[in-house]
Structure formats: C-alpha cells, structure tokens
C-alpha cells in the first residue's frame, strides 16, 4: 500500500505496534526526511524503553547472497519485549531479493510473527521493483518523503521551537525560513543549533522568544551564503559562479531538490516584484516583496536582476524549476543532481538574453 507525502506524518503519529504493517519502505529525495521518518516509525513501533535485542540494524551489504537473512531476523523474536524491528539501509538488488523472500514467507504463514521491517532508501522511481513491491502488497506500506514547501517549513519551525518552550518573532520567522534548506535533516540540525545558542528552557517557565538577532548570531553560516551566491549567480547569468556555488552546496550535503526549491522561492518573489513594477509600482517599493528584507550587500544584485528579467521570463523560469523538481522526485540522487544543474544552467543562460 502507499501514502501520499502529506499523509505520512499523520500515519506515523497514529502507528500502533499491533496494527503495524509487516514492512515499511521509507524513500525520497529528502534524505533527512527519510531518516527522521524512519526514526519516528521506530519510536512509534517499539516505544521509548525497548530492549536492545528488539532492534536489529542491517545495511544492504549484509543481505548480499543471503535473501533469507531478513526473514530469519524477523522470525527470531527476543526474549524480552513483544515486538521486534529490523532496520535495513539501502535499496540494492540484495535488499529487493530479501524483501520479496520475506513477503513471500509471510504469505505462506499468514498472521505469523510480531516483527516489522523498515527499509530506508534514497529516491525511487514509481517503476522501481522495490517501490512497486511495497505499494502493491497489502502487508507493506510505502512512505514517500519529498522536500518541504515554504508553509511546511514554517510549521516545522514553530512546532520544534514550541517543543523547546520558545516562540519566534515574525521577522525572525521570515529570516529563519529563508535561511533553511528544504531537507528535514538539515532543518532539524539548524534548529538544534539555534536552541543550543538560546539555551535549554524549563517547561515550567514562560516561553522564551527567538529574535532575528538570535537567528543571525546562531545560523549566519557559509551554507546560506552559498545559497545566496547560487541564486544570484543564476539570476544574473553568471554560469561559472553558479556552477561553483552548486558544487559547494552538494559537497555540504544539500540535496539537488533543496537547491531547486530555494531557487524557485526566489524566482516566485522576483516574479511578484516584477509584476508590481510592470503595473506602475516604483522599484524601491516592489523590493518589499522580498522577505526577509534583502541584506544591503544583496540589494544591488537583486536590483540588477530586476533589470535583466521580466515577469514573463520569470514565469518561464518557474516552469523549468517546477519541472526539474518533479523530475528529481522520481530519480536517483546522481540523476537528480544532473537534472538540477541542467535546469539552473538553462535559467542562467536565459538571464543573458
């Protein structure tokens, strides 16, 4: 069986061990989201205080030539605890063979065992045999994890900070949302840095407040500078600079889909600002469409972009970015990187015309 990406969080929150599927495939271009979702499934299935023998972790190499190992591990129930979870990392041919063997074994003995398998994978195409096996078997569940949209990032920020007894100012929210990538793993690490900077807060105390200065002090790092450099280089048609910025982001672990999402959000705002200018609004007022307000060093670069682009050209750039993001959701990480680079290159060339 399968879920849509927006249904995954609610499904995991309501997961009960006695109603859990025999296998859950967690996959997608959002690597951090895949890992965090797998961790949430583990916590929901085993609970907080589980016996170490209730959990087994295997990588794809351990299953090479041993298709029956996964089924054997699932069948070997621990002495303590009612349930067992086997966590597999990877999605190669050996994992596929082991999953098929496991599901076939369950079909022979319906209702047997009290174990669950989690398979944690990168992005998988709809035609990938492993994904098809999870989506079509009634004892399995496929959980896709895609890059977050802007509204989802804001919701995640608020939930995470409220869990640490903090609230956030509107200006700080704008600044933080613009700084964060769309990968859940990256977002979580950055929010942990922010909370560490502010200090752990007792739940009994009144909520603390996160300000824009806090965000700048805690998260003003090289990654955001590389995002800004990538966006501005693409929008100004500086091909070599854009290529170097994308390479730096990839080296830092940023998924291709994350870079595309940040570029899309910039061009959406640029499209809005240009539309306002074309309707007669002065440029200085149209620049107010950018949130958070542009840093003084970036402002001249964006003003230059507004001379190079029209709302019509921006609309075509957004079509390219949306198509590339969609394509990245169905491809392997290497292919996604190539598709992202090609899309950004096309847009950078368009800026020169």
Residue 112 has pLDDT above 70, yes or no: no
Mean pLDDT of 229-235: 92
> CATH number for the domain including 64?
3.40.50.300
Give strand pairing partners of 168.
Answer: 210
- How confident is residue 9, by pLDDT bands cut at 50, 70 and 90? confident
- Using CB atoms within 10 A of its CB, is residue 142 exposed (0-12), middle (13-18) or buried (19+)? buried
Looking at the structure, tell me whether residues 263 and 244 fall in a common domain: yes
Largest Cα–Cα distance of the chain, in whole Å?
Answer: 75
Tell which residue, 12, 1, 3, 4, has the closest CA to residue 134.
1
Task: Flag the least confident range among 29-33, 214-218, 326-330.
Answer: 326-330
pLDDT for the residue 110:
64
Q: What is the CATH number of the domain that holds 319?
A: 1.20.272.10
- Residue-wise pLDDT for 113-152, tens only, equals 579 999 999 889 999 999 999 999 999 999 999 877 777 8
CA distance 230 to 223: 11
DSSP 227-259: HHHHHHHHHTT-HHHHHHHHHHHHHTT--HHHH
pLDDT per position as a tens digit, 49-85: 888 889 999 989 899 999 999 999 998 888 887 889 9
Q: Is the pLDDT of residue 308 over 90?
A: yes
Q: Based on the domain organization, do 241 and 338 belong to the same domain? A: yes
Residues 73 and 58: beta-carbon distance below 8 Å? yes
**Count of structural domains, the chain:** 3
Average pLDDT over residues 339-352: 89
Burial class (CB in 10 A: 0-12, 13-18, 19+), 307: exposed
- Exposed/middle/buried for 284, CB within 10 Å: 0-12, 13-18, 19+? exposed
Q: Based on the domain organization, do 198 and 312 belong to the same domain?
A: no
Q: How far apart are CA 231 and CA 246, in angstroms?
A: 10
pLDDT value at residue 257: 75
Q: Is 283 helix (H, G, I), strand (E, B) or coil?
A: helix
Cα dihedral value 213, 216, 219, 221, nearest 10: -160
CA dihedral 268, 348, 152, 45 (to 10 degrees): 160
Which has the higher per-residue pLDDT, 294 or 57?
Answer: 57
* Of 126, 144, 162, the domain-final residue: 144
C-alpha 225/C-alpha 35 separation (Å) is 26
Which residue is associated with the tokens 């349930």?
83
> pLDDT value at position 225?
74
| Nearest CA-CA partner of 184 in 258, 251, 102 | 258
Share of the chain above pLDDT 90, in %: 49
Coil vs helix vs strand at 168: strand
Asked if residue 255 has pLDDT above 60, the reply is yes
Q: Does 294 lie in the same domain as 187?
A: no
SS3 178: helix
**Cβ–Cβ under 8 Å, residues 239 and 198:** no
Q: Could you write out the three-class secondary structure of 60-96?
A: HHHHCCCCCHHHHHHHCCCCCCCCEEEEEECCCHHHH
Q: What is the mean pLDDT of the chain?
A: 87
Q: Are 265 and 150 within 8 A, CB to CB?
A: yes
- Taking only the tens place, the pLDDT of each residue in 260-284 is 888 998 999 999 999 999 999 999 8
pLDDT band at 31 (very low <50, low <70, confident <90, very high): confident
Question: Pick from 192, 220, 248: which residue ends a domain?
Answer: 220
Can you tell me the mean pLDDT for 191-204? Answer: 88
Type and span of the H or E element at 46? helix 31-46
- Identify whether the C-beta of residue 26 lies closer than 8 Å to the C-beta of residue 143: yes
My answer on whether 12 and 138 are in the same domain is yes
Residue 343: pLDDT band (50, 70, 90) is: very high
Is the domain of 229 the same as that of 215? no
Q: Rounded to the nearest 5°, which phi and psi values hold at 43?
A: -65, -40
Residue 38 is predicted with a pLDDT of: 94
Task: Show the domain range for 15.
Answer: 5-144
Residues 126 and 164 in one domain: no
Model pLDDT, residue 272: 94
C-alpha to C-alpha distance for 198 and 349, rounded to whole angstroms: 43
Do 75 and 19 lie in one domain? The reply is yes
Write down the pLDDT at residue 44.
Answer: 93
Q: Which two tokens stand for residue 14?
A: 């309501």
304: pLDDT strictly greater than 90? yes
Question: What pLDDT is recorded for position 243?
Answer: 85
């Amino acid at each position: 069986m399968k879920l849509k990406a927006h249904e995954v969080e609610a499904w995991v929150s309501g997961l009960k061990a006695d109603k859990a599927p025999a296998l859950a495939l967690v996959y997608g271009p959002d690597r951090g989201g895949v890992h965090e979702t797998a961790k949430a499934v583990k916590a929901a299935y085993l609970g907080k205080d589980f016996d170490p023998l209730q959990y087994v972790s295997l990588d794809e190499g351990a299953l090479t030539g041993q298709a029956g190992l996964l089924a054997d591990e699932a069948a070997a129930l621990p002495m303590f605890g009612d349930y067992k979870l086997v966590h597999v990392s990877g999605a190669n041919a050996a994992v596929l063979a082991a999953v098929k063997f496991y599901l076939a074994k369950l079909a022979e003995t319906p209702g047997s065992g009290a174990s669950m398998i989690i398979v944690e994978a990168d992005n998988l195409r709809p035609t990938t045999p492993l994904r098809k096996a999870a989506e079509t078997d009634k004892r399995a569940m496929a959980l896709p994890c895609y890059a977050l949209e802007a509204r989802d990032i804001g919701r995640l920020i608020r939930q995470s900070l409220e869990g640490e007894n903090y609230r956030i100012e509107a200006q700080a929210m704008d600044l933080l949302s613009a700084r964060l990538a769309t990968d859940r793993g990256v977002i979580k690490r950055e929010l942990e840095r922010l909370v560490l900077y502010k200090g752990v807060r007792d739940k009994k105390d009144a909520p603390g407040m996160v300000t824009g200065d806090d965000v700048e002090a805690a998260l003003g790092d090289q990654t955001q500078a590389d995002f800004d450099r990538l966006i501005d280089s693409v929008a100004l048609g500086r091909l070599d600079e854009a290529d170097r910025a994308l390479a730096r982001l990839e080296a830092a672990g940023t998924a291709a889909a994350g870079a595309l999402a940040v570029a899309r959000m910039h061009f959406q705002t640029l499209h809005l600002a240009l539309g306002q200018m074309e309707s007669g609004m002065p440029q200085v007022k149209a620049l107010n469409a950018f949130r958070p307000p542009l840093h003084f060093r970036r402002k001249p670069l964006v003003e230059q972009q507004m001379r190079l682009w029209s709302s019509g050209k921006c609309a075509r750039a957004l079509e390219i970015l949306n198509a590339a993001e969609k394509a990245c959701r169905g491809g392997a990480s290497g292919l996604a990187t190539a598709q992202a680079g090609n899309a950004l290159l096309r847009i950078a060339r368009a800026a020169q015309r």
